[in-house]
Structure 1
Amino acid sequence: MMDDKLDDLYGYVQERCLWQFFSRTWDRQENIDGVLGKAEEMLTGKPVARETPMDKLLYADAMIMVKDFRERFPWIRESGAAEVKQLMDGLKARLVETVITKSTNRELNHHLY
């Protein structure tokens, strides 16, 4: 069941979130960690920092994603904090594997960029 939920979230992100495809490895990692971190905070009711411009950027992307998650996947509203954390950690790992580790884009780590 957890795999099905993770598949749902991953499919959504792959289809609708361009932040995962930024041009450098460090930028992709920063966005994956940041947006999904803010999303986890929102989904678990924790306060979300919005002090810096980067906080605001990550928050804006996460806010839209969380709204869609709640509308498309009603089970996420019933998930506890531990399950949400497990799902977000799994989603991060799957995204990193797909868009960083297994990426064939050689420019991601080019030394001149």
Structure 2
Amino acid sequence: MTQEQQVEALVDYIMKHCLWQFHSRNWDREKQNAGVLGKTRQLLCGEAVDLSTPADRCYWVDAVVLADTWRKRFDWLAEMPADATA
């Protein structure tokens, strides 16, 4: 599977299963998507996750669920180097 196909699989999962991506206001949606996906990346890469604000903790909850699901569904994530980019 190419890196492009891997990214498509992750995006497809988000589009079909993650309601947080559909926030009604554009600026809220962008902020929330960046928060959840950023924390998901940190979890998948074994990095420390900042939980200092209520928003950080909210994003973290969704990120934990997403990271756990992705680990189960996409075994190739475990083999991907932490510094890989799309």
TM-score of the aligned structures, taking structure 1 as reference length: 0.73
Hey, what's the Cα distance between the residues in 1 that align with 2:49 and 2:29?
21
Question: In structure 2, what is the equivalent of residue 13 of structure 1?
Answer: 14
Q: What is the CA RMSD across the aligned residues, in angstroms?
A: 0.8
Match of 2:78 in 1: 77
Moved over 4 A (4+): none
- Equivalent position amino acid for 1:39 in 2: T
Structure 1 position 51, deviation (Å): 1.8
In structure 2, what is the Cα distance between the partners aligned to 1:31 and 1:79? 25
Rounded Cα–Cα distance in structure 2 between residues aligned with 1:78 and 1:2:
12
Question: What is the match of residue 37 of structure 2?
Answer: 36
Structure with larger Rg: 1
Q: Pairwise mapping of residues 1-113 of structure 1 onto structure 2 (< 5 A)?
A: 1-83=2-84, 86-87=85-86
Unaligned runs of 5+ in 2: none
1:70, distance to aligned residue in structure 2 (A): 0.2
* AA matched with 1:59: W
Distance 1:53 1:70 in 2: 26
Q: Given the two structures, how large is their TM-score scaled by the length of structure 2?
A: 0.94
* Amino acid in structure 1 at the alignment position of 2:49: V
Task: Deviation per CA, 1:52-85: give whole Å up to 9, x if none.
Answer: 11011000000000000000000001111122xx
Secondary structure at 1:82 match in 2: coil
Q: Distance in 1 between matches of 2:51 and 2:79?
A: 26
* Identical-residue share of aligned pairs (%): 36
Structure 1, residues 21-50: CA drift from partner, whole Å, max 9, x if none?
101010110011100100111111110011
* Larger RCO of the pair (alpha carbons < 8 Å, separation 6+): 1
Structure 1: stretches of 5+ with no match in the other structure: 88-113
